[in-house]
Structure 1
Amino acid sequence: MLSRAARYFPRTHLFDAKESPNCSFVWKSIVAALPILKLGCCWRVGNGLSIRVSGDKWIPNYPTNGPLFPVKDEVREVTVAELIEQELHAWRSEFIMDVFEQVDVEAICKIQLSRRDVEDTII
């Protein structure tokens, strides 16, 4: 799903798509359904490049599917990829501990990362 979405939304997420004045009835219907889709979707972390730390749901089995506490300014606008040591396919634990509250750190570090270089997927 991500590769197709990347083709049509190279500068934004599908979930940030807006209705345009000339869009078709089908597109208007998709945009109208996005709030419902957002409620039930969560990202599965792959390489983390498509997932925003703040604003996206990416922590599975967690009350908000995102950090419970506000993150520090230095990670507010970054992707989950910056929390991952890409070569090792492991979390950057010390960095995560510096910018998140302890309860969020524990939830993030429980997420299993793939040993392969895989794209993030919406589930």
Structure 2
Amino acid sequence: MGVSKLPMSVCDDLNRMVRNFWWGSSEGKRKTHWLAWPKILAQKMKGGLGFRDFRLFNQALLARQAWRLLTNPASLCAQVLKARYYPEGRLEDTVFSGNASPTWQGIQHGLELLKNGIVWRVGGGHNIRIWRDRWLPTEPSRQPITQQGTCRLRRVAELLDESGNWRMDLLRRHFLPPDVNSISSIRTSPRVTDDILTWAPEKNGIFTVRSAYRLAMDERERPLATSTSRAPDGRRAIWKTI
């Protein structure tokens, strides 16, 4: 599961084994369903039992492989894969082809989840693209809500002066007030020149499979929570969640 994307049928079989253990029959008698399956899968901190969904767990394990390629670009494995699949670009911008190897398809599957959790820490700003990369402290997109329009600024470094401070005149000219407040809240230093790619779900910025799995669970539940809150009985659903 850590190197290959398992077929969905295999993941569903594993999930079915867990459900049968919890819900199944014994000596021809059907067991009582004490808890619904979503409640069994929910995190313990949210009142669930913390059982694993094998589809999402497989993706979280594969995201670790994509993280290694991002954080260790000088490794032999990363250099070989870059030469084969994205020689002129960056891994997070790669458009995957349909004839990729099974190993690369697994990395692609993990990368889809990884993109939702990575964020740039601003140093000199030379490697961070203003309109495409995730670098703002605002969740969940971590990107400017301002439309680029005719703005010719491309890199975050163009928004900093020689002392490493934000050029507030440029921010107010090209960005909406929420983006201005978000950008100006980022601390910068003239001594720090390297931009660092970090993992937002962890405070130390280092990727873990556990936090990736939690992120996958949250991403799956977010559309459901949004649609439920917009329903006519949404208020009751919100109070039930609380």
**What TM-score, normalized to structure 2?**
0.43
Q: Which residue number in structure 2 is paired with residue 65 of structure 1?
A: 142
Within 2, Cα distance between the matches of 1:64 and 1:39? 8
Within 1, Cα distance between the matches of 2:93 and 2:128? 13
Aligned-residue offset at 1:26: 2.8
Structure 1 residue 121 corresponds to structure 2 residue 121: no
Q: Which residue number in structure 2 is paired with residue 99 of structure 1?
A: 174
What percentage of residue pairs aligned between the two structures are identical? 33
* Structure ranking higher on relative contact order (CA contacts 8 Å, 6+ apart): 1
Structure 1 pair 107–64 and aligned structure 2 pair: CA distance change class (3 A): same
User: Are 1:18 and 1:31, in contact at CA under 8 Å, matched by a contact in 2?
Assistant: no
Q: Deviations over 1:41-66 (max 9, x none)?
A: 11111111121111211101444211
Within 2, Cα distance between the matches of 1:98 and 1:57? 21
Structure 1 residue 83 corresponds to structure 2 residue 159: yes
Within 1, Cα distance between the matches of 2:120 and 2:160? 15
Counterparts of residues 1-123 of structure 1 (less than 5 Å): 4=73, 8=82, 11-19=88-96, 24-75=101-152, 78-85=154-161, 87-123=162-198
User: Are 2:125 and 2:193, in contact at CA under 8 Å, matched by a contact in 1?
Assistant: no
Q: Which has the higher helix share?
A: 2
Q: Which amino acid aligns with 1:81?
A: A
Within 2, Cα distance between the matches of 1:58 and 1:68? 12
Give the unaligned 5+ runs of structure 2. Answer: 1-69, 199-242
- Max radius of gyration: which structure? 2
Within 1, Cα distance between the matches of 2:191 and 2:71? 17
Secondary structure of residue in 2 paired with 1:90:
coil
Q: Which amino acid aligns with 1:43?
A: W
Structure 1, 13-22 or 66-75: larger mean CA deviation = 13-22
Q: How many residues align?
A: 121
Give the unaligned 5+ runs of structure 1. Answer: none
